[in-house]
Amino acid sequence: MNGPMLFDEEEALRDESRRDAGPGPNVLTIDIDGWEGPLDLLLALARTQKVDLRQLSILALVEQYLVFIDEVRALKLELAADYLVMAAWLAYLKSALLLPKDPTIDPSPEELALRLQLRLERLNAMRESGARLMARDRIGRDVFLRGAPEKLRVVKARAWECDYFELITAYGQINARTQPAMHIVKKRQVMTLEQALERVSAMIGRAIDWTAISAFLPPMADPALRKSALASSFVAALELAKRGVVDLQQESTFAPLMLRKKAT
Amino acid sequence: MIETDPDMRAVEATLFASDQPMTVEQIRGYVGDSVDVSAALTQLAAHYQGRGIEIVQRGKAWHFQTAPDLAHLLRREREESRKLSRAAVETLAIIAYHEPVSRAEIEAIRGVQISKGTLDVLMEAGWVRPAGRREVPGRPLIYATTPGFLTHFGLNSRKDLPGIADLKAAGLLDPIDSAMGDMLFTGEESDSELEINENNA
Amino acid sequence: MIETDPDMRAVEATLFASDQPMTVEQIRGYVGDSVDVSAALTQLAAHYQGRGIEIVQRGKAWHFQTAPDLAHLLRREREESRKLSRAAVETLAIIAYHEPVSRAEIEAIRGVQISKGTLDVLMEAGWVRPAGRREVPGRPLIYATTPGFLTHFGLNSRKDLPGIADLKAAGLLDPIDSAMGDMLFTGEESDSELEINENNA
């Protein structure tokens, strides 16, 4: 036995006949590698009985297997372990079948034998089905498809999407982008140093006691102007202190800055 | 006259031009919704009966092919189609007749482990595909055949698998345990056969 | 009956399976010397007349093909809509507002070069067409919009396009300034922090 079965019909037939000639007692050219495991070997042996597998003599099969294995071992060919495991199991099965029935043994040897037979039947069924499948009218071997089909084509037509708003917005943005840039500084309300000097000088005249600088700011809400007024009033306070018009006092860092008219 | 029926002409031309088997829906995508594609295909198939080429249905898909009895004229001697190993053929048969089936189930039937390449070869050929997982411990992958399998082997459906009805009737597609139950139940006959054989032995 | 003529069947299958047009001699190489290939071809050609497929002779070789009048079926259009790129929208807008306009003029207005593909896309969309050449040195191509452009954007004429003043009024003209405004606005928030300090003061 050699190699995988090829699905050339002739070769398959030749292969089959070689298999069926099987490993008879006179066959010395035994190639154990040709078998796909013990079940495969068992099936090939079973087929040499030339009966329907349902009529198979399991005892005869066991005998065939054990003889075969012995021959192989006599030739000092190496056997894979699973063949030996199967041989041991079959030897057990054989003795169990031959011995008087012991109802306590479960599963019974008859059941084991039946199981083995069923497995062989199933493998055989699939092997035959496979061969029949391969023998069908297969595309590229028995039936042929059209050699040069025109082929169907799917032509992709692209529809471009763009809506009106996008179009005019784009134009607006081009214009905005390409218009010569002119930078105008926004007018801010500020209190100049002069204004602050005037305002603080006027107000300090009326203040007798220490007064926080925030009291000198214009009371209106605009925070921008308020900030400007604070900065200018602070500088004005320093200026007035320099001129000797006011006293300044701050208890600690970030504490309110206090102003008072300098005592004269 | 058949030749001038515009629907049939359209279906004929479409299927003929295609390099793939086509389903009714796919054909309709080309010939338009107004055409009764199924009817046209049936008529065409009848029309080509006995000719050198034929229209066949494989699963849901249809295609043109040469008549099988002309294989001897067209077979290219040198370019033998892919040769499958025995393991691959058996594995394919087991998947086809038992699908969906797990690797362990395939191995149980064959009595040997499947080598890594075997399933790959079948999948590469486009005949077998993984078809989900079996909801048992370990969630093994299960395998089934493809539409391409039906096409390649000229099967209209899995029911056309050679001998599948007989195998089913004989219980040869059932797992051994359930088969055992049946046989022990109907019992006697096979037992007695076995006994006879034993006597022969 | 024609269907059962074995010579014709053989020639039909051979020609069908071939991936090349075949001469009478080549066909004979497959079907055998006993077959009158020419006669079979002539009969087949007659047989397919008016059908969805036909057998034709080109030079010395014969082949099957689908009927030419059905070619439109074998091509199926699939629409695929895609958004116009930013560059394409701007280019289209410039052409619409300034037409007819040359590529160099478009680039001058956009302030950026346009890639060759941009105008192609607009022409493919059917919104822009070449509209002659500008009679200046180099005679550049000039572009204009098409009636399809007006239809697509729901315009009666180009005069319906909003003018610069309209765009300005709609706030579409100065995206940069408004962005600046946003920044000033967020700037004020930090002012309030200062105020808190003032209050503390």
pLDDT tens readout for residues C111-161: 888 888 899 999 988 899 999 998 888 899 999 999 888 888 888 888 888
Do B12 and C49 make contact, defined as CB atoms within 8 angstroms?
A: no
Q: What is the pLDDT of residues A67-120, one digit of tens each?
A: 988 888 887 777 778 888 999 999 999 998 888 887 887 788 888 898 999 999
Q: A222 pLDDT exceeds 70?
A: yes
Q: Do B154 and A139 touch (CB under 8 A)?
A: yes
Res B76: pLDDT: 64
| Residue B181: per-residue pLDDT | 59
CA atoms within 13 A on the CB side of C133: 6
Q: How many CB pairs under 8 A join B and C?
A: 76
pLDDT > 80? residue B95:
yes
User: What is B72-128 written as a DSSP string?
Assistant: HHH--SSSPPPPPPHHHHHHHHHHHHH-SEEHHHHHHHHTSPPPHHHHHHHHHTTSE
Looking at the predicted structure, is the pLDDT value of residue A10 above 70? no
pLDDT for residue A250 is more than 60: yes
Strand B128-133: give its sheet, edge to edge: B101-102, B141-145, B128-133
B124 or C171, greater pLDDT: B124
CB-based contact (8 Å) between A160 and chain C? yes
For residue C81, the model assigns a pLDDT of: 77
**Is residue B13 over pLDDT 60?**
yes
pTM over 0.80? The answer is no
Compute the average pLDDT of residues A164-189.
77
Work out the number of other CB atoms within 10 angstroms of the CB of residue A191. Answer: 20
Choice between A92 and A224, residue whose per-residue pLDDT is larger: A92
**Confidence check: pLDDT of A8 > 70:** no
pLDDT band for C28, please (50, 70, 90 cuts): very high
Average confidence (pLDDT) over C63-78: 86
Chain B CB contacts of C33 below 8 Å:
none
| Predicted local confidence at residue A31, as pLDDT | 54
Instruction: Pick B180's closest partner by Cβ from A39, A115, A143.
Output: A115
- Average pLDDT of the residues of chain A: 79
Q: How far is C131 from chain A (nearest CA, A)?
A: 21
Cα–Cα distances (Å) from A129 to A15, A172, A214, B154, in that order, read 17, 76, 104, 15
Find which of C12, C37, C49, C79 to mutate to test the B interface (most B CBs within 10 Å of its CB).
C12
Looking at the predicted structure, is the pLDDT value of residue B185 above 80? no
Mean of the pLDDT values across residues C169-184?
Answer: 49
Residue B54 pLDDT greater than 90, yes or no: yes
Question: Using CA atoms, how far apart are residues C28 and C46, in angstroms rounded to an integer?
Answer: 20
What average pLDDT score do residues C12-40 get? 92
- According to DSSP, the residues that pair with C144 across neighbouring strands are C129
Please determine, for residue A246, whether its predicted confidence score (pLDDT) is greater than 70: yes
> Pairing mode, if any, of strands C75-83 and A153-161?
parallel
Share of chain A above pLDDT 70, in %: 82
Write the DSSP string, chain C: -GGG-HHHHHHHHHHHH-SS-EEHHHHHHHH-TTS-HHHHHHHHHHHHTTSSEEEEEETTEEEEEE-GGGGGGGEEEEEEEEEPPHHHHHHHHHHHHH-SEEHHHHHHHHSS---HHHHHHHHHTTSEEEEEE-SSTT--EEEEE-HHHHHHTT-SSGGGSPPHHHHHHTT-S-HHHHHHHHHHHHHHHHHHHHHHHHHH-
Looking at residue C2, its pLDDT comes to 45
Whether B94 shows a pLDDT value over 90: the answer reads yes
**pLDDT of res. C185:** 37
Confidence category of residue C180, pLDDT binned at 50, 70, 90: very low
d(CA B74, CA C125): 50
> Which of the four pLDDT bands, split at 50, 70 and 90, describes residue B161?
very high
Question: pLDDT grade, residue B69 (50/70/90)?
Answer: very high
Inter-chain contacts counted by CB atoms under 8 A, chains A and B: 168
pLDDT, mean over chain C? 80
Q: Looking at residue A205, what is its pLDDT?
A: 75
pLDDT in tens, A39-66: 999 998 998 888 888 888 899 999 999 9
Residue C13 touches chain B, beta carbons under 8 Å:
yes
Average confidence score pLDDT of chain B: 83
Are A156 and C80 an interchain contact pair (Cβ–Cβ within 8 Å)? yes
pLDDT band at B179 (very low <50, low <70, confident <90, very high): low
Say whether pLDDT at B78 is over 50.
Answer: no
Secondary structure of residue A47 in the 3-state scheme: helix
